[in-house]
Structure 1
Amino acid sequence: MATPPQPVRFALGTFSDGGEPRFPGLVVEDRVLDLGTALAWRPASTTAVLDRWDEVLPVLRDLAGDRNGDWRPLAGLRVHAPVEPRQVVQSGANYRRHVIDLVVAHRAGDSAETEEQARERAAALMDRRARDDQPYVFTGLPSAITGPYDDVVLPAWTTQPDWELELVAVIGRPAHRVPVDRALEHVAGYTIANDLTARDHVFRPDMKEIGTDWFRAKNAPGFTPLGPFVVPAEFVPDPMDLRLTLRLNGVVMQDESTKDMIFDVARIVSYASQTARLLPGDVVLTGSPAGNGIHHGRLLRAGDVMESTITGLGAQRTTCVGEERR
């Protein structure tokens, strides 16, 4: 009996010839098909494609296998953030080793606890948290999103800009109060984010009782490089077995598996949906592993180049530019 042919692997992105207008594209290897003309209803954006995900997915499979369309070379196009989400959901403190490192690093100066004892205590806390607690989730601004190869402007008002490589789930079906065991049915695909943080603005110095100020710390323009592409979930067999690696000027700073997550993708999507109605094209960031700049004692500065990869999802490359050079 003949083996059925394997589906052609494809991804979605947003492209232009260098300027406007942008168009949604189907990516197969090193070529791009303009979905704004290839689809009968002429979608203007990738978000519009995701709005009709169940209807369009079989069509995209067929188009990916057809080499006779009006394909264009990827190298000749500018790659933008693959989606323009209506909502950005972010998750923090979600990698076990990362949180354990933070607990150890923030021991009181007069603590009699050894590092090994602190790690054992933190590990027990993480086990309890994974079993009994809920994800830590907050919202970001779509205006912070930029393309995967765009420069990142470091605002003059921060002295501690930091990197945070994250796996991103992209919503393909509206999700509201979905159970954990159905949550991944609402995920169209996955992409990469570098969720930059101004560490010196995480806490309000003028009123410590308020706690964290994620609005100030995370939402400067360009603080969320996204992409390059959305890879459909069918080509990501296990989102909990992907490798995340971030290099700063060629040196590996983050290198971890999504297996180290405290709350998996399904639990985060389900939890966020208990409050909000997630919409097609929305992005759910799932937290960053150990190896942030604050851990290494080396924060971002003008001229730094960050290269970020996640298994099967491509790579980002962004250069940091000081605001005074604009």
Structure 2
Amino acid sequence: MLPGTTSFVLARLAADGRARTALVAGELVLELDDVAQTLGVPAPVTVQQLLAEWDRVLPLLAGLAPQAAAPLSGYTVLAPVEPRQVFQSGANYRTHVIDLAMAHVEIAEGRTVEEVRAQTAAEMDERAATGDPYVFLGLPSAVGGPFDDVVLPSWSQKHDWELELAAVIGAPAFRVGREQALSHVAGYTIVNDLSSRDRIFRRDMKEIGTDWFRGKNAPGFLPTGPWLVPASFVGDPQDLRITLTHNGVVQQDESTKDMLFDVAALVSAVSQTTTLLPGDLVLTGSPAGNGAPRGIFLRDGDVLEGSITGLGTQRQTYRAEQS
């Protein structure tokens, strides 16, 4: 936390049919268009504008936080960022990957489940030590609000949840080392990386394998937010608790300590191939507790609620697509 400042978050809020960028302190709002001159940016103020000058703007925002006065209850909360690029990490939580591997492995005669699990765990530790993250692209058009209803496309009956920590990029990053990577992260938010499980693997094109485009990019399939929390208020991103409930029952409950590749490693890895831009999202993977391994999938009327330490809580109701 910045010395002597009131903690705050950035948000995109809607009222009277218009979206605006705001600072939120507690339950009070300061619309940033009203202080654009103080911030040294043109109105209407966007989150991307602020992130592009994050090191200069952050102390100014901290000084403005005590001016927040409008009640948050008068606004609708939108996704806090409108990313140009979304980078998603697969198979990045140790326990999750071990559970998935065990679900598909055959236990040979003379070996116990415990022995096979220990071998799989050792393989994951080796991957973390010597391997590279698995990263693929998502569509910005899939980003939805943290409290929006989500329509479940009728072309699948196996929609699943994956609550994740997402890093929000501030300064552009290209070929940065792991040691410098976090200096390019402005803050963090929550993303639920929804998946249509039966669309991810192409049975008609087994040589190609996975189809992340079809499996993950339906409208609203990346509920994001509610807030963009500055990194200085979050502390260690590898010591946060991720919790998701499905109809009130806890399904995911894991620490970010369980990541195979931490946030810095992921940001660095992505930057080796392309330039990360202000407002881009780097999703860090899902912990164990997805529905698919237990045959639980989203149905009409289901409610998911997800939270991460210090980042708030998002909540969606899921609706079957109407013909």
After TM superposition, give the deviation of residue 6 of structure 1 in Å.
Answer: 3.0
Distance in 2 (alpha carbons) for counterparts of 1:134 and 1:88: 18
Match of 1:123 in 2: 121
The within-5 A match list for 1:192-271 is: 192-271=190-269
Distance in 2 (alpha carbons) for counterparts of 1:152 and 1:272: 29
Distance in 1 (alpha carbons) for counterparts of 2:265 and 2:310: 22
The number of aligned residues is 318
Quick check: 1:58 aligned with 2:56? Answer: no
Does structure 2 conserve the Cα–Cα contact (< 8 Å) formed by 1:49 and 1:56? Answer: yes
Distance in 1 (alpha carbons) for counterparts of 2:258 and 2:118: 16
1:14 to 12, 23, 30: 12
Match of 1:318 in 2: 316
Match of 1:77 in 2: 75
After TM superposition, give the deviation of residue 117 of structure 1 in Å.
Answer: 1.4
Identify if the C-alpha distance between structure 1 residues 18 and 308 changes in structure 2 by more than 3 Å, giving closer, same or farther: farther
Identify if the C-alpha distance between structure 1 residues 30 and 125 changes in structure 2 by more than 3 Å, giving closer, same or farther: same
Distance in 2 (alpha carbons) for counterparts of 1:292 and 1:159: 15
1:26 to 20, 23, 27: 23
Structure 2: which amino acid aligns with 1:212?
T
Distance in 2 (alpha carbons) for counterparts of 1:249 and 1:96: 26
SS at match of 2:207: helix
Distance in 2 (alpha carbons) for counterparts of 1:309 and 1:283: 18
The within-5 A match list for 1:280-291 is: 280-291=278-289
2:36 to 36, 39, 42: 39
Identify if the C-alpha distance between structure 1 residues 235 and 60 changes in structure 2 by more than 3 Å, giving closer, same or farther: same
Identity of aligned residues (%): 58
Does structure 2 conserve the Cα–Cα contact (< 8 Å) formed by 1:103 and 1:118? Answer: no
After TM superposition, give the deviation of residue 36 of structure 1 in Å.
Answer: 1.8
Distance in 2 (alpha carbons) for counterparts of 1:114 and 1:48: 56
Contiguous gaps of at least 5 residues in structure 1: none
Does structure 2 conserve the Cα–Cα contact (< 8 Å) formed by 1:242 and 1:310? Answer: yes
Identify if the C-alpha distance between structure 1 residues 107 and 58 changes in structure 2 by more than 3 Å, giving closer, same or farther: same
SS at match of 1:267: helix
Identify if the C-alpha distance between structure 1 residues 190 and 159 changes in structure 2 by more than 3 Å, giving closer, same or farther: same
Match of 2:274 in 1: 276
Distance in 2 (alpha carbons) for counterparts of 1:35 and 1:51: 16
Distance in 1 (alpha carbons) for counterparts of 2:102 and 2:90: 18
After TM superposition, give the deviation of residue 58 of structure 1 in Å.
Answer: 1.3
When the two chains are superposed, the root-mean-square deviation of aligned CA atoms in Å is 1.4
After TM superposition, give the deviation of residue 110 of structure 1 in Å.
Answer: 6.3
SS at match of 2:164: strand
Distance in 1 (alpha carbons) for counterparts of 2:13 and 2:230: 18
Identify if the C-alpha distance between structure 1 residues 196 and 111 changes in structure 2 by more than 3 Å, giving closer, same or farther: farther
Structure 2: which amino acid aligns with 1:36?
D
Identify if the C-alpha distance between structure 1 residues 111 and 23 changes in structure 2 by more than 3 Å, giving closer, same or farther: farther
Does structure 2 conserve the Cα–Cα contact (< 8 Å) formed by 1:243 and 1:310? Answer: yes
Structure 2: which amino acid aligns with 1:24?
T
TM-score (norm 2): 0.95
After TM superposition, give the deviation of residue 205 of structure 1 in Å.
Answer: 1.7
Identify if the C-alpha distance between structure 1 residues 119 and 278 changes in structure 2 by more than 3 Å, giving closer, same or farther: same
Does structure 1 conserve the Cα–Cα contact (< 8 Å) formed by 2:139 and 2:217? Answer: yes
Distance in 1 (alpha carbons) for counterparts of 2:111 and 2:200: 27
Distance in 1 (alpha carbons) for counterparts of 2:96 and 2:111: 19
SS at match of 1:210: coil
Identify if the C-alpha distance between structure 1 residues 111 and 87 changes in structure 2 by more than 3 Å, giving closer, same or farther: farther
Identify if the C-alpha distance between structure 1 residues 323 and 113 changes in structure 2 by more than 3 Å, giving closer, same or farther: farther
After TM superposition, give the deviation of residue 49 of structure 1 in Å.
Answer: 1.6
SS at match of 2:73: helix
After TM superposition, give the deviation of residue 202 of structure 1 in Å.
Answer: 0.7
SS at match of 2:277: coil
TM-score (norm 1): 0.95
Does structure 1 conserve the Cα–Cα contact (< 8 Å) formed by 2:36 and 2:45? Answer: no
Distance in 1 (alpha carbons) for counterparts of 2:299 and 2:81: 28
After TM superposition, give the deviation of residue 50 of structure 1 in Å.
Answer: 1.2
After TM superposition, give the deviation of residue 159 of structure 1 in Å.
Answer: 1.2
Distance in 1 (alpha carbons) for counterparts of 2:310 and 2:124: 28
